[in-house]
Structure 1
Amino acid sequence: MLIGSIAHPLPAISSDMACSDVLALMHELDATAGLAVVEDGRPIGMAGRTALMRNLAHPVTYALYEHRPISLLMRGNPLVVESGTTIDRVNELIATEKQWALEEGFIVVEGGRYAGVGTIQALLKRSVSDARTQIAELDHARKQAERANEAKTTFLANLSHELRTPLNAIMGFTDMLAAGAAGPVNDKQAEYLRDIHGSGKRLLDLISDLLDLSRAEAGRMELDEGEVDVPAVVEEAARILQVRARDKQVTLTTQLRSRTRLWADEGKLLQIILNLGNNAIKFTPAGGRVALTVDDAADCGVVLHICDTGPGIPEHEIPRIKEPFGRGRTARRQKIEGAGIGLALTQTLTAMHGGHLDITSTPGEGTCVHVHMPGGRAVARVETEPPAARLAAE
């Protein structure tokens, strides 16, 4: 908002006008702040009402200045602003440079020529009005965003149902065909059926992740909390991941250096490890390694490390891949499958537990994702001899 919108077009006074006449004019016009002293259309000073009344309040000073020109009592360096100046800028000038304008007001000009007087009262009134308008606009935008998010969640839930039903049927029929329900299946046909089943499974997993992310963002996802044996969950995740690691000829190991139990959602914790483990295996070439490690944290919590010997991630790409649907250049260049949902969902699930997720990576060497679960969730820490690193298959 521009300052010209609150300028009051009070008549200007000349520098030779008598002080008593100026005071009388102020009373007549109800000029609460003051009047601009103008020569040839341009302001040269400001006669502040409070200062003038103070100077003329005593009989001696009144007699001294009654018939003398206002130029003797005016402020010669008033705050003068162009009508196109923003209200925020005028507020800044008054707060930092021209504090006396709180009492005397300021002069508004257009092209350097007098246009009116502004007062702190009018400035505050407009600032409050603008603030209320902004609050109302923000509230409206928030409600629109909430409605859009609600519509998105409903749409995804409906879409999930519509997609799951035929996908489950397709996968069921491929299982039946692979089992010979419609007759013998040769090796090539069996390979095709495995591809169909695998593609259907990936689509179902993608739909589940997308729906989970939408529910979490909408605040509809809740934690089913209980006492969780973290090392046991890591070992369970390793058993599940071992099949994929073996198919890719990737060595998967676990190292359980903490026996801390957490108050957490066991299913969500398993989902976090599986999402990160699957990502690590996906990006690790044949002959590489993926390690799942559990450590005690300094705050008595737990840190899960999922490290791989993949291509690594340039530092400037890390913020992008942590966003929903964000994918790094390596994934795009190598045409690695994925929609960029898993990491965003993992961050959300971690945050729901009060934790946070960090990524460290060196291009050409590999990546580590560190999941920090806070000490406030620690239930018990059993001091045992930490097991040596071992193959997850053992």
Structure 2
Amino acid sequence: MVESSTHHQTRGRDVAAEEALRRRKIAHEMRAAREKLTSSTGLERSFDYELLRLFAQYRIGAALPLFGLAAAVAALAGLWVPLEPVLIWLGQAVATTGLPVALAHRFLRQEESSVSLPRWRRIFILSELLQGAGWAPIVLLLVKTDTPVVYGFVLFVTLMVAAVTATLSATVRLAVYAGIAPLALALVFAVASAAQRMDTLLLALMSVSAQLFFVLLAHRLYSSAVATLHSRAEKDALFAELEQAKANSDEARRRAEEANLAKSRFLATMSHELRTPLNAILGFSEVMKNEVFGPHASPSYKDYSGDIHASGQHLLTLINEILDLSRIEAGRYELNEEALRLSHVVEDARHMLNLRAKAKNQTVKEVVDPSLPRLWADERAVRQIVLNILSNAIKFTPQGGEITIKVGWTGSGGQYVSVRDNGPGIPDEEIPVVMSSFGRGSWALKTAEQGSGLGLPIVKGLVDLHGGTFQLKSKPREGTEAIVTFPASRVMDALPPVDDIRAA
């Protein structure tokens, strides 16, 4: 009953956690869809802001190189163009190049929640248009000269400006077009004014082709930036889910520890409260059963007294098993280790259960290796292990069945105890059930001798405390074999010798 309620509570918590996770996911998807519908780029607001922030940072970082490039172009242009128009163009280029930098600083100083993204996107596009317009006049000034080397210089300037614009403005796609368009228009005007010159046509063709290439490159850079933002958002969401899962795990562990503490207190209290009246029930029922103070007036009273005594013994055994399993699971079962012979413990257990085997006309055989040395273990725990697996064999072996007990060496130098019967056996899918607490197989449910379902879990817990292994092998209609193995480190001959100082 306790296990069932605990299972339902655990299952309820799992369902609640899954429902909360589903609701958070739906809320996140709805928020993302709402932001995409209200966004001019089709992305979430956080993505739009991050793209604008990258644009501003790139512009601020490239300010000094652009100023240096403008000064270098002006210095070289002064070789072919009069100084006055070159200086006017340089002032114009510096002003239009500094405008996006100033705007970027202003954008970054604002809080994210208060930023109007569409407005700032338009501002950045306009600033790029002005910057491109500031660089375009140098193309017109240089093309007017008749020096052939100037055309190569014009091609260099247009390529540099287009490359810088494409890389710096890639996160705002319209800004790329706005920055490159004035240069393209200047080239078209230059070609139109000197259409009869083949070198001008080639210059325009090469420059426009390069600008188209840089536009395609800007699209690739934009896609890469968006993909990076998506990956980072997924990583952040994963980290958030991991933190939430860790918080849920910590909370579940805290509740489990509280439940375990409450269980321990309950068992400690109830063991005392139940054992006290049970001792009286067992004592008085035994007196009545044995008719110590004289025969009963009715023979049925003696049978009733025997039933009361047997029921009390069963209840006391169940309480002891629950307490033992609780101590094992809580890690509070202390081993009182000493040197013992495994064969002697098995012989004592067989002798204790011999009457039960004879009552069912069962044959119990022993195959013991006489060369086994002593074992370093807890005698009470080993005795309980052997009693549990042997009593299970007797319980589920039919009338006239055969039980074989083997004690010997393992391949790794340890020792083992094997109890095999020719009972009905256990299907493979039911072995995990019978190994769990309060678990019983289908055959156990059909028989009259139903136990508490704690015998095998206690065996496994005690074997684990000794560092050994417990294995259950069974086939339907062929029988069951329970194998308990103790490691070689617990065999006395395998322990290192202790020097006798007095003998020395």
Aligned match of 1:131? 242
Separation in structure 2 between the aligned mates of residue 224 and residue 36 of structure 1, nearest angstrom:
78
Aligned match of 1:322? 435
The verdict on how the C-alpha distance between 1:304 and 1:138 changes in structure 2, with shifts beyond 3 A counting, is same
Code of the aligned partner of 2:426: I
Aligned match of 1:172? 283
Code of the aligned partner of 1:164: R
Contact 1:301/1:375 (CA < 8 Å) preserved in 2?
Answer: yes
Q: CA deviation at 1:162?
A: 1.8
Aligned match of 1:46? none
- When you count strand as a share of all residues, which structure comes out higher? 1
User: Does 1:303 pair with 2:416?
Assistant: yes
Q: Percent identity?
A: 36
Aligned match of 2:469? 356
TM-score, normalised via structure 1 length: 0.71
Aligned match of 2:332? 220
1:42-191 alignment, distance < 5 Å: 67-68=211-212, 70-74=214-218, 76=220, 104-107=224-227, 118=229, 124-185=235-296, 188-191=300-303
**SS where residue 431 of structure 2 aligns?**
helix
Structure 2 gap segments, 5+ residues each: 1-24, 33-43, 53-120, 133-161, 176-206, 495-504
Aligned residue among 351, 357, 363 for 1:239: 351
Deviations along 1:153-172, one digit per CA (max 9) or x if unpaired, are 22122222222111111110
**SS where residue 118 of structure 1 aligns?**
helix
Aligned match of 2:480? 367
Structure 1 gap segments, 5+ residues each: 27-33, 39-62, 80-103, 108-116, 382-394
Aligned match of 1:251? 363
Separation in structure 2 between the aligned mates of residue 284 and residue 125 of structure 1, nearest angstrom:
60
Separation in structure 2 between the aligned mates of residue 254 and residue 197 of structure 1, nearest angstrom:
33
User: Does 1:286 pair with 2:402?
Assistant: no
Separation in structure 1 between the aligned mates of residue 378 and residue 474 of structure 2, nearest angstrom:
28
Separation in structure 2 between the aligned mates of residue 341 and residue 203 of structure 1, nearest angstrom:
13
Contact 2:173/2:219 (CA < 8 Å) preserved in 1?
Answer: no
Aligned match of 2:64? none
User: Does 1:268 pair with 2:388?
Assistant: no
Separation in structure 2 between the aligned mates of residue 209 and residue 296 of structure 1, nearest angstrom:
30
Question: Aligned-pair RMSD on alpha carbons?
Answer: 3.3
Separation in structure 1 between the aligned mates of residue 173 and residue 434 of structure 2, nearest angstrom:
60
User: Does 1:346 pair with 2:459?
Assistant: yes
Separation in structure 2 between the aligned mates of residue 323 and residue 380 of structure 1, nearest angstrom:
35
- When you count helix as a share of all residues, which structure comes out higher? 2
Which one has the largest radius of gyration?
2
The verdict on how the C-alpha distance between 1:129 and 1:168 changes in structure 2, with shifts beyond 3 A counting, is same
The verdict on how the C-alpha distance between 1:201 and 1:8 changes in structure 2, with shifts beyond 3 A counting, is same
Q: CA deviation at 1:65?
A: 9.2
- Bigger relative CO (Cα 8 Å, ≥ 6 apart): 1
Separation in structure 1 between the aligned mates of residue 316 and residue 45 of structure 2, nearest angstrom:
61
**SS where residue 305 of structure 1 aligns?**
strand
TM-score, normalised via structure 2 length: 0.56
Contact 2:322/2:454 (CA < 8 Å) preserved in 1?
Answer: yes
The verdict on how the C-alpha distance between 1:35 and 1:378 changes in structure 2, with shifts beyond 3 A counting, is farther
Separation in structure 2 between the aligned mates of residue 334 and residue 169 of structure 1, nearest angstrom:
30
**SS where residue 193 of structure 1 aligns?**
helix
Contact 2:438/2:453 (CA < 8 Å) preserved in 1?
Answer: yes
